[in-house]
């Protein structure tokens, strides 16, 4: 079992398979994807070795992320490979859903257990203004297809922004009355290139939490491989609400996840100065040296991120965090 110097155990791997994204979200990539490195992304064989090594080290959940992971044509094969890896109990995917109706069945057939889709507004015009794409009806259709299959849980990621959706929480809650998804409000995070936007748009999710509790929402029990969200349910709603509050007190105490980037670097925190390269250990089928290197690198994991000190490390934009 992967454990750090603070006694935290790591059951959850976020595995990025590309850093390319085809959306131009105003809080993330307003000018579109800009490549400043060689696109030497993890190969299919390397991805299988990463999954195998982490599975043998106690990881039970892999979330496949990007960028936008569906831009890789071998995504169904990657899902299947992760799902078939020993000790991996759950495979999740984070996507912008731009071709969700077209892809969802192949993902499900490959063994996908959980799907996260980004929807930053339920108003089609506002959605277009945020993302640069008029795709909301297509994405909602794909979500309905996923729910109808009964094969996967669905979560919706919504980045809170004061002027774009922070005033419209009621619309989301009304949607949850009859829609069995978990809607996760994510606090906008400061990165290397968005300080002015962050200062103008940041909304504290703690205020939403207070309102939910006053309105009768109750906390859900966390699973050991759950992500960072605090989740709430209400007996009158089919859907749930999750809150991801990275600026809240003790946010890092329950950290249970690591990240491997599309370039084969281990990130002990989403906001570290630089990833630790695993590439040289991914070139052979024997994963023992890879496992030993991962374990050795764990000694560098810090107790907390440094967002409160406005230190965002090497995270230049939110696309690097993989959803």
pLDDT tens digits, residue range 181-205?
999 999 888 776 677 888 888 888 8
Alpha carbons 272 and 192: distance in angstroms, whole number: 12
| Lowest-pLDDT range of 24-28, 79-83, 150-154, 177-181 | 24-28
Q: What does the pLDDT read at residue 323?
A: 46
Of the pLDDT bands very low, low, confident and very high (cuts 50, 70, 90), residue 247 is confident
Q: What is the mean pLDDT of residues 312-320?
A: 49
Largest CA distance in the chain: 55
Residue 92 has pLDDT above 60, yes or no: yes
Residue 268: which residues within 8 A CB-CB, separation 6 or more?
4, 258, 276, 297, 298, 300, 301, 302
Residue 300 has pLDDT above 50, yes or no: yes
Alpha carbons 202 and 13: distance in angstroms, whole number: 27
| Lowest-pLDDT range of 59-63, 232-236, 244-248 | 244-248
What average pLDDT does the chain have?
88
**pLDDT above 70 coverage of the chain, percent:** 89
Q: What does the pLDDT read at residue 304?
A: 66
State the pTM of this model: 0.89
Of the pLDDT bands very low, low, confident and very high (cuts 50, 70, 90), residue 270 is confident
Gyration radius (Cα) of the chain, Å: 19
Residue 223 has pLDDT above 50, yes or no: yes
Q: How far, in whole angstroms, is CA 209 from its chain's centroid? A: 21
Q: How far, in whole angstroms, is CA 251 from its chain's centroid? A: 16
Residue 152 has pLDDT above 60, yes or no: yes
Of the pLDDT bands very low, low, confident and very high (cuts 50, 70, 90), residue 256 is confident
Residue 200: which residues within 8 A CB-CB, separation 6 or more?
162, 163
Q: What is the mean pLDDT of residues 48-54?
A: 98
Q: Are 299 and 311 in contact (CB under 8 A)?
A: no
Residue 239: which residues within 8 A CB-CB, separation 6 or more?
175, 176, 177, 179, 180, 181, 182, 183
Supply φ then ψ for residue 199, to 5 degrees.
Answer: -60, -35
Residue 240: which residues within 8 A CB-CB, separation 6 or more?
176, 181, 182, 183, 220, 231, 232, 233
**pLDDT above 90 coverage of the chain, percent:** 65
* Closest to 131 measured CA to CA, from 244, 201, 27, 35: 27
Q: What does the pLDDT read at residue 120?
A: 94
Alpha carbons 139 and 256: distance in angstroms, whole number: 30
| Lowest-pLDDT range of 35-49, 122-136, 201-215 | 35-49
Alpha carbons 212 and 170: distance in angstroms, whole number: 11
Alpha carbons 75 and 47: distance in angstroms, whole number: 11
**Sign of the alpha-carbon torsion through 300, 304, 309, 311:** positive
Q: What does the pLDDT read at residue 38?
A: 66
Residue 82 has pLDDT above 50, yes or no: yes
Q: What does the pLDDT read at residue 273?
A: 56
| Lowest-pLDDT range of 24-28, 187-191, 264-268, 289-293 | 187-191
Instruction: Tell which wins on pLDDT, 321 or 218.
Output: 218
Residue 67: which residues within 8 A CB-CB, separation 6 or more?
16, 17, 18, 19, 20, 21, 33, 262, 319, 322
Length of the chain: 323
Classify residue 215 by burial, with Cβ atoms within 10 Å: 0-12, 13-18, 19+. exposed
Q: What does the pLDDT read at residue 320?
A: 47
**Sign of the alpha-carbon torsion through 293, 254, 222, 97:** negative
């Amino acid at each position: 079992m992967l454990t750090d110097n603070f006694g935290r155990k790591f059951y959850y791997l976020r595995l990025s398979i590309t850093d390319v994204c085809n959306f131009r979200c105003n809080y993330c990539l307003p000018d579109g994807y800009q490549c400043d490195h060689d696109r030497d992304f993890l190969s299919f064989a390397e991805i299988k070795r990463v999954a195998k090594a982490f599975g043998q080290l106690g990881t039970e959940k892999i979330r496949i992320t990007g960028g936008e992971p569906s831009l890789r044509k071998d995504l169904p094969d990657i899902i299947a490979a992760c799902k078939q890896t020993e000790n991996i109990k759950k495979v999740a995917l984070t996507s912008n859903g731009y071709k969700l109706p077209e892809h969802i069945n192949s993902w499900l057939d490959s063994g996908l257990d959980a799907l996260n889709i980004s929807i930053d507004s339920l108003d089609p015009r506002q959605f277009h203004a945020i993302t640069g794409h008029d795709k909301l009806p297509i994405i909602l259709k794909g979500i309905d297809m996923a729910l109808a299959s009964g094969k996967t849980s669905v979560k919706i990621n919504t980045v809170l922004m004061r002027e774009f959706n922070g005033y419209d929480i009621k619309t989301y809650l009304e949607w949850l009355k009859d829609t069995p998804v978990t809607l996760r409000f994510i606090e906008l995070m400061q990165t290397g290139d968005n300080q002015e936007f962050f200062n103008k748009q940041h909304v504290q999710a703690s205020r939403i939490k207070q309102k939910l509790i006053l309105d009768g929402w109750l906390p859900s029990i966390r699973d050991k491989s759950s992500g960072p969200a605090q989740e709430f349910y209400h007996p009158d709603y089919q859907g749930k609400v999750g809150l991801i509050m990275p600026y809240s007190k003790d946010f890092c105490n329950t950290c249970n996840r690591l990240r491997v980037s599309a370039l084969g670097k281990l990130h002990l925190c989403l906001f570290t100065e630089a990833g630790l390269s695993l590439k040289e250990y991914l070139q052979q089928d024997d994963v023992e040296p890879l496992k030993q290197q991962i374990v050795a690198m764990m000694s560098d994991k810090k107790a907390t991120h440094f967002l409160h000190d406005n230190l965002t490390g090497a995270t230049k934009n939110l696309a690097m965090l993989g959803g």
